[in-house]
């Protein structure tokens, strides 16, 4: 009986969290749509500040992750393709798998760890020190004031970072292909782009847009629901990162499935 | 709130009617800015028909004074109700502004 | 006409958190321009009451009238104009860590008004002068002491020229001198700017220094309301015990002895 009760408890709290997360997403989108008409759209400085933090300051770490991933994919596929004597296909392998899959997912995971955690920690510590309540008392809606700028920053900057990471990953693969495996650089580039279609890139960007929504909304939700002092902030931050990671992989799976079966 | 600017001889007089508060201060500032652009040397703000001034109103007046002083002009205030006068005293701004009891006194004191 | 109608009226306010009845029927009238102190021990519901007064919590039953409107029936858009007329100073000051002192004070002005930035910066200087902290605009909250943070919090509460200012434990955790300074500040600001002040505290020295009227809360009820002298000379045993700060009296801190022995042997 206790076991059933425990499962029931987990199911109901999870359900409530899901409803609340969608509520927050709805509120955020509503503020973005109706905000300009009510003259209550967040200030530009606030949004650009978040964009600098989420986007530009994430570039270095995204650069390294994408670069080394490109190298690893090139070596890994070379090892396989060598057996068929088709090493030139390394170029296609690297560019397509990075554009469709690894670019968006790895960038999202890096940003979830860096930016998502920071969002939860910042909003969470504002919550436990009554700053969120102070905002409300000043007639400043926390969703408009805190969530909307972070949301906009991530849904714009994450696809941008993904494009950069696609390029850097391909460069990483190129270096391995040309300097290690001795492939002709012109043929390498040719193969990279002939096999990579616009659809590969656009599906990757649709994914990274979705991941941007996930990271910002989960980060803000965990922050706004933080309870119990400094320890609570730590707990919320961990939960935020773990939840974002799981959801990113889950939605990657769902979206890949949709693209696969609908022949996009 | 209404504001009217009149040039009487060499003195520019701003007649303000109504409240000077957070909602009206931005409009009053626009009128003040026009006076500043004209580099009027002698400016007087008449408070006869002002019921209420809040801190944004006071700050707007301070900014006006600062800008007038910047080009070497003079700003005076006159005909304040006791309630508004006491507000200037509480905020210590009565020491910053020259406050005359009536418009005539203020105009003659410019000379 | 305004003077007759109370700026805050609480009618039969009830609130439950889970199974615990926190407020069980509060009735209060707070008049324009007075300093009204809500006192009571920890857990008596005074912070919960304060959060109802500012509209951060909605009552289970009863109503809260703020500036003539029943705020328990207003939606967020209708509540905003009222929120712009109240200021709140928080126990932990609740300054925004990511902003300077000046930005903290100017935030409501920047967000809610069309005032020119130059005018706002003059206003910030004036507001900080009120609490004796002029020249601190460019410091971050982390560079200030606890008492200074609270003063900045008060100056932020006054940013929009509010009609009512709420103080949550303004002197908790401060040394006696700073406490006296805070008390004087609250009185001076209320009288000079003729705002209504509602102060929640359990510091008896403060209470008798600042209050025009006092309400004593115990277990979610108003035990007594009166002026300083009425409270000081009250015959009510709860009030007497609280004012004298005695461990013995009707307010119990220990549960019944039998109960304790039963739990041990259970």
Domain edges within chain B: 2-106
- Gyration radius from chain B CA atoms: 13
Which CATH number do you get for residue C230?
Answer: 3.40.50.300
| Same domain? C78 vs C176 | yes
Q: Looking at beta carbons, which residues of chain C come within 8 Å of B95?
A: none
Cβ contact B97:B60 at 8 Å = no
| Same domain? C106 vs C71 | no
| Same domain? C130 vs C155 | yes
**Residue C88 to chain B, least CA–CA distance (Å):** 18
> Cα–Cα distance between A182 and A78 in angstroms, integer?
12
Residue C182 at interface with chain B, using a CB cutoff of 8 Å:
no
| Same domain? C25 vs C74 | yes
Q: Is the dihedral of CA A30, A32, A33, A34 positive or negative?
A: positive
Residue A80 is assigned to a structural domain of this protein: yes
Nearest beta carbon to residue B56 from set C123, C129, C193: C123
Find the domain containing C234 and state its range.
1-85+163-186+193-266
Find the domain containing A236 and state its range.
43-260
Looking at the whole model, is its pTM more than 0.90? no
Residue A18 is assigned to a structural domain of this protein: no
Running along chain A, 264 residues long, what does each successive block of 10 average in pLDDT? 86 92 94 81 83 90 93 90 83 88 93 95 94 92 92 94 93 89 86 83 92 96 93 95 96 92 74
- Taking CB atoms and an 8 Å limit, are A139 and C108 in contact across chains? yes
Chains that touch B (3 or more CB pairs under 8 A): C
pLDDT per residue as tens digits for the range C108-147: 999 888 899 999 999 999 989 888 888 899 999 999 988 8
Interface of C with A in 75-94 (CB under 8 A): 76, 79-81, 83-84, 86, 88, 90-92, 94
Residue A23 is assigned to a structural domain of this protein: no
pLDDT per residue as tens digits for the range C75-111: 888 888 899 999 999 988 899 998 999 999 999 999 8
Which among A37, A130, A229, A230 is the top mutation candidate for probing chain C, defined by the most C β-carbons within 10 Å of its own β-carbon?
A130
Nearest beta carbon to residue C56 from set A129, A137, A140: A137
Beta-carbon contacts below 8 Å between A and C: 48
DSSP string of C217-234?
EETTEEEEEEEHHHHHT-
Please give the residue of chain C at the shortest CA–CA distance from A133: C56
| Same domain? C221 vs C197 | yes
| Same domain? C108 vs C121 | yes
Cβ contact C107:C90 at 8 Å = no
Name the token pair of C246.
């005695």
> Cα–Cα distance between B51 and C142 in angstroms, integer?
41
Interface of C with A in 41-60 (CB under 8 A): 54-56
Chain Cα centroid distance, residue C249: 27
> Cα–Cα distance between C80 and C85 in angstroms, integer?
9
| Same domain? C53 vs C143 | no
Strands C8-17 vs C20-30: parallel, antiparallel or unpaired: antiparallel
> Cα–Cα distance between B101 and B91 in angstroms, integer?
19
Cβ contact C87:C162 at 8 Å = yes
Cβ contact A128:A229 at 8 Å = yes
Residue A3 is assigned to a structural domain of this protein: no
Element (H, E) at C69: strand C69-70
Task: Say what the ipTM of the complex is.
Answer: 0.89
Q: What is the CATH number of domain B2-106?
A: 3.30.750.24
Per-residue 3-state assignment (H helix, E strand, C coil) for C6-44: CCEEEEEEEEEECCEEEEEEEEEEECCCCEEEEECCCCC
Most confident of A180-194, C147-161, C167-181: C147-161
Residue A255 is assigned to a structural domain of this protein: yes
């Amino acid at each position: 009986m206790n076991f059933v009760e425990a499962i029931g408890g987990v199911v109901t709290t999870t359900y409530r969290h899901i409803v609340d997360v969608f509520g927050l997403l709805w509120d955020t989108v509503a503020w973005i749509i109706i905000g300009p008409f009510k003259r209550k759209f967040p200030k530009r400085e606030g949004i650009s500040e978040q964009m600098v933090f989420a986007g530009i300051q994430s570039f270095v770490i995204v650069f390294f992750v994408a670069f080394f991933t490109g190298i690893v994919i090139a070596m890994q596929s070379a090892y396989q393709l060598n057996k068929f004597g088709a090493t030139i296909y390394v170029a296609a392998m690297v560019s397509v798998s990075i554009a469709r899959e690894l670019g968006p997912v790895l960038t999202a995971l890096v940003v979830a760890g860096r930016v998502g955690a920071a969002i939860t920690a910042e909003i969470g510590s504002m919550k436990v020190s009554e700053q969120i309540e102070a905002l409300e008392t000043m007639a400043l809606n926390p969703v408009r004031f805190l969530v909307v700028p972070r949301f906009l920053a991530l849904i714009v900057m994450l696809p941008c970072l993904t494009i950069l990471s696609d390029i850097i990953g391909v460069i990483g693969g190129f270096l391995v292909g040309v300097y290690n495996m001795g492939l002709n650089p012109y043929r390498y580039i040719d193969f990279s782009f002939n096999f990579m279609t616009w659809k590969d890139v656009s599906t990757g960007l649709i994914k990274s847009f979705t991941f941007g929504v996930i990271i910002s909304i989960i980060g803000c939700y965990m922050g706004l629901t933080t309870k119990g002092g400094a320890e609570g902030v730590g707990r919320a931050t961990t939960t935020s990162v773990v939840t974002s990671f799981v959801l990113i992989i889950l939605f990657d799976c769902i979206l890949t499935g949709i693209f696969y079966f609908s022949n996009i | 709130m209404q504001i009217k600017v009149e040039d009487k001889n060499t003195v520019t007089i701003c007649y303000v009617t109504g409240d000077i508060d957070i909602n009206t201060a931005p409009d009053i500032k626009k009128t003040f800015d026009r006076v500043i652009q004209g580099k009027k040397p002698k400016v007087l703000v008449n408070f006869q028909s002002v019921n209420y001034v809040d801190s944004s109103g006071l700050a707007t007046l301070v900014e006006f004074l600062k800008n007038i002083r910047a080009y070497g002009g003079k700003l005076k205030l006159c005909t304040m109700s006791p309630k508004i006068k006491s507000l200037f005293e509480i905020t210590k701004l009565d020491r910053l502004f020259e406050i005359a009891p009536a418009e005539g006194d203020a105009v003659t004191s410019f000379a | 006409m305004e003077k007759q109608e109370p700026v805050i009226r609480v009618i039969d306010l009830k609130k439950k958190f889970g199974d615990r009845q926190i407020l069980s029927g509060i009735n209060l009238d707070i008049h324009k321009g007075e300093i009204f102190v809500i006192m009571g021990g920890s857990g008596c519901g005074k912070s919960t009451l304060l959060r109802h007064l500012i509209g951060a919590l909605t009552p289970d039953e009863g109503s809260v009238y703020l500036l003539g409107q029943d705020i328990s029936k207003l939606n967020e858009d209708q509540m905003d104009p009222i929120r712009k007329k109240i200021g709140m100073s928080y126990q932990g000051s609740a300054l925004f860590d990511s902003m300077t002192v000046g930005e903290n004070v100017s935030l409501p002005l920047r967000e809610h008004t069309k005032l020119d930035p130059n005018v706002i910066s003059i206003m910030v200087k004036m507001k900080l002068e009120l609490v004796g902290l002029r020249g601190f605009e460019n410091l971050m909250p982390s560079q200030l002491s606890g008492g200074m943070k609270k003063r900045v919090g008060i100056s932020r509460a006054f940013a929009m020229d509010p009609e009512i200012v709420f103080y949550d434990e303004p002197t908790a955790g401060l040394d006696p001198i700073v406490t006296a300074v805070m008390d004087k500040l609250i009185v001076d600001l209320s009288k000079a700017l003729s705002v209504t002040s509602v102060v929640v505290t359990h510091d008896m020295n403060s209470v008798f220094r600042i209050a025009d009227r006092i309400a004593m809360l115990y277990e979610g009820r108003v035990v007594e309301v009166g002026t300083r002298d009425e409270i000081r000379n009250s015959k009510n045993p709860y009030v007497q015990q609280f004012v004298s700060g005695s461990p013995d009296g009707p307010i119990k801190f220990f549960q019944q002895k039998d109960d304790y022995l039963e739990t041990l042997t259970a």
